[in-house]
Chains A and B, each alone.
Chain A
């Protein structure tokens, strides 16, 4: 073999090695973060931590019960708003592919997907916090619902488009009216895709902090009233992580650990669903 060919083959091998090294280097920071958070957080988690309120500065101990309850309530409210709305919109987009309204609606969903979360927080502040004279969990939920919407709509639309037309035609041939064709045939067939979209969107908003900063605001006490300010896990992590107190840092590490495990589990679970039903997202 001549030197030139050897040089070319060598260059190719070097490039391949470089690609492999860089690819695996991406994973390193993630693994570092996971291990660090788990190590720092797991020792803080116990029954006391899960069922107690945070203590004021200077007292050790305390827990994050208010944040756990708050996060659950805020996410549940956001889901109640966003999931029906998103699925119906996805149905419209898949049933009326070429209408003018579908074009504009699709464009708006695209825009919504790219809007920074903090901007949605500002908007929710002016829509709900100012008119109601005070921070509330409800306004936070609305902000998060707006963030969920594009994911739910997109996954519904794309799943329904994948279903064969023959399915729809068979249902119509039996004389079923439109709404029953959709609700009893089309949606149940695509339920796995829709479900994974919903879970993905829940996983995404669970960690969102920015839209909650000026809506749910945070609250050191336990509350279940959605018209009052409410604590949530990401907010608690942000506030306590940037505070100068070590006790609060400990709380934040424990909370980070719980949040991380929860979000990762949701993601892995979604992956399993999509693999089982062979859905492409």
Chain B
């Protein structure tokens, strides 16, 4: 279509004076100029359209490239260990044994523990801002402060955790009579719990605000108290939205690297309880990637990255699908 327009507006035939006598009148000169300009504009327009299309294609290529790179670079490890990689209980790079069960366990423990701690707080903030006090300066302040929690760099959380939280946890551990190490799964869960509050909170708030007010008013007119309205109207209505928020938080927690690396204690042993030190998938990669001195070791770390990539992408996609379902 564009090419036919191109042909029609091409100034070339006019240059020869076809259709007119060969003498150039002032009008033909100005039409000629105008047509030339249109032609230039149309060319620029086509270039622009093509550029933005190429950029959009490039995003697809970029993500495909990421997946292909991870899969290709982990081929050595996939070949040598196969699926046993996932439940091998020993990680010993010196003897070339790569089992990531300790890290899987560490990742799941820290993430779910963090989720359990943070969800009540997130939902409280969501209810506070979405239902109890939607307007005013104080809720505004709370909203902005909670959003700032997500803005603080994770390395700063890690440093603070190392300097302040770990000694506190250590005292707590010696008080309840377990090995007082301080660094470990429990400390990292606490840090993670703080870090992931905003994700479920801000999504939950917008979901709760979307509950139609006639539903709530109907419940109030039947004599329901506020708590009953929340439990019987708001929660059932926003169920999947709140769940999506929890999913996004979980995705964050699984992929979080620096803060966890700094406070988890970094051992490749299977954690005995929630207070013992361990490692997560992300923290192993961060710690050992530059030390990996032979190809299989490196490839095993990349396979860990691949697993992490797939898990976080799946969880994020579930969350995004749920949000789409609710908002449509």
Which A residues have a C-beta under 8 Å from some C-beta of B? 8-9, 11-12, 15-16, 18-27, 29-30, 32-33, 36-37, 40, 85, 88-89, 91-93, 95-96, 101-102, 104-105, 108-123, 125-127, 146, 149, 153, 177-180, 182, 203-204, 206-210, 213-214, 217, 234, 237-238, 241-242, 252-253, 256, 259-260, 263-264, 267, 271
Contact in complex: B225, A242 (CB < 8 Å): no
Give complex CA distance A210, B286 in Å.
7
Contact yes or no, A114 B55, CB < 8 A: no
- Chain B residues with Cβ below 8 Å from A27 are 142, 145-146
Bound Cα distance A172, B305 (Å): 48
A203 contacts across to B, CB distance below 8 A: 151
**What is the distance, in angstroms, from A64's C-beta to the closest C-beta of chain B?**
14
Give the residue name and chain of the A residue nearest to B131 (CB).
A19
Interface residues of B (CB under 8 A from A): 41-42, 44-45, 47-49, 51-53, 55-60, 62-66, 69-70, 73, 120-121, 124-125, 127-129, 132, 142, 144-149, 151-160, 162-164, 194, 197, 201, 225-228, 230, 251, 254-258, 262, 282, 285-286, 289-290, 301-302, 305, 308-309, 312-313, 315-317, 320
Which of A93, A121, A123, A208: most chain B Cβ within 10 A? A123
Q: In the complex the two chains form, is A85's CB within 8 Å of B225's CB?
A: no
Chain B residues near A16: list those with CB within 8 A: 132, 226-227
CA–CA, A102 to B320, complex, Å? Answer: 17
User: Can you list 22 pairs linking A and B with CB atoms under 8 Å apart?
Assistant: A15-B227, A23-B121, A23-B142, A26-B197, A26-B201, A30-B145, A33-B160, A85-B55, A88-B52, A89-B59, A92-B52, A101-B57, A105-B57, A114-B312, A116-B312, A122-B73, A122-B289, A122-B305, A203-B151, A208-B153, A263-B151, A263-B152
Return the 4 tightest CB-CB contacts between A and B, nearest first: A207-B153, A116-B255, A114-B316, A22-B124
> Would A238 and B155 count as touching, CB distance under 8 A?
yes
Residues of A within 8 Å of B121, CB to CB, are 22-23, 25-26
Question: How far is A108 from B145 in the complex, measured between Cα atoms in Å?
Answer: 31
Whether the Cβ atoms of B226 and A12 lie closer than 8 Å is yes
- Across-interface contacts of B57 in A (CB, < 8 A): 101, 105
Q: Smallest distance from the beta carbon of A23 to chain B beta carbons, Å?
A: 4
B144 touches A271 (CB 8 A): yes
A204 partner residues in chain B, CB cutoff 8 A: 151
Number of A-B contacts (CB under 8 A): 243
Least CB separation from B129: chain A residue? A23
B285 to A122, Cβ gap below 8 A?
yes
Q: CB distance A127 to B69 under 8 Å?
A: yes
**Cβ contacts under 8 Å, A101 to chain B:** 53, 56-57, 60
Q: Is the interface of B mostly helix, strand, loop or mixed?
A: helix
> Could you tell me the distance between the alpha carbons of A36 and B162 in the complex, rounded to whole angstroms?
13
Question: What's the Cα separation between A125 and B286 when bound, in Å?
Answer: 13
The main secondary structure of chain A at its interface with chain B is: helix
Nearest CB in chain A: distance from B300 CB, A: 12
Chain B nearest CB: distance from A96 CB in Å? Answer: 8
CA distance A9 to B146 in the complex (A): 30
Q: Is A115 in contact with B53, judged by CB distance below 8 angstroms?
A: no
Please tell me which one of the listed residues B53, B251, B282 contacts residue A210 in the complex, with CB atoms under 8 A apart. Answer: B282
For A209, list chain B residues within 8 Å (CB).
153-155, 257-258
The listed residue (A104, A180, A263) touching B60 by CB distance below 8 A is A104
User: Which of B52, B58, B302 has the largest number of chain A CB atoms within 10 A?
Assistant: B52
Name the residue in A18, A96, A102, A241 with the highest tally of chain B Cβ atoms < 10 Å from its Cβ. A241
Q: Does B225 contact A11, Cβ atoms closer than 8 Å?
A: yes
Within 8 Å CB of B257, what residues of A?
A: 116-118, 209-210
| In-complex Cβ contact of B157 among A21, A33, A110, A146 (8 A) | A33
Partner of B159 from the list A21, A104, A179, A237 (CB cut-off 8 Å) is A237
Contact: A237 with B308, CB < 8 Å?
A: no
Q: A88-B55, A109-B59, A126-B69 are in contact. Are A238 and B156 (CB under 8 A)?
A: no
Residues of B contacting A182 in the complex (Cβ-Cβ under 8 angstroms):
48
| Shortest Cβ distance from A266 into B: residue | B151
Decide if B254 touches A116 in the complex (CB within 8 Å).
Answer: yes
Tell me the bound Cα distance from A179 to B48 in angstroms: 6
B152 CB contact (under 8 Å) in A33, A102, A149: A33
Given the complex, which residues of A lie within 8 Å of B151, measured CB to CB?
Answer: 203-204, 263-264, 267
Measured between beta carbons, the chain A residues less than 8 angstroms from B69 are 123, 126-127
Complex-state Cα separation, A97 to B255, whole angstroms: 31
Question: Could you tell me if A92 and B153 are in contact, using CB atoms closer than 8 angstroms?
Answer: no
Q: A12-B228, A104-B60, A123-B66 are in contact. Are A178 and B262 (CB under 8 A)?
A: no
Report if A37-B160 is in contact (Cβ < 8 Å); known contacts: A18-B124, A26-B121. yes
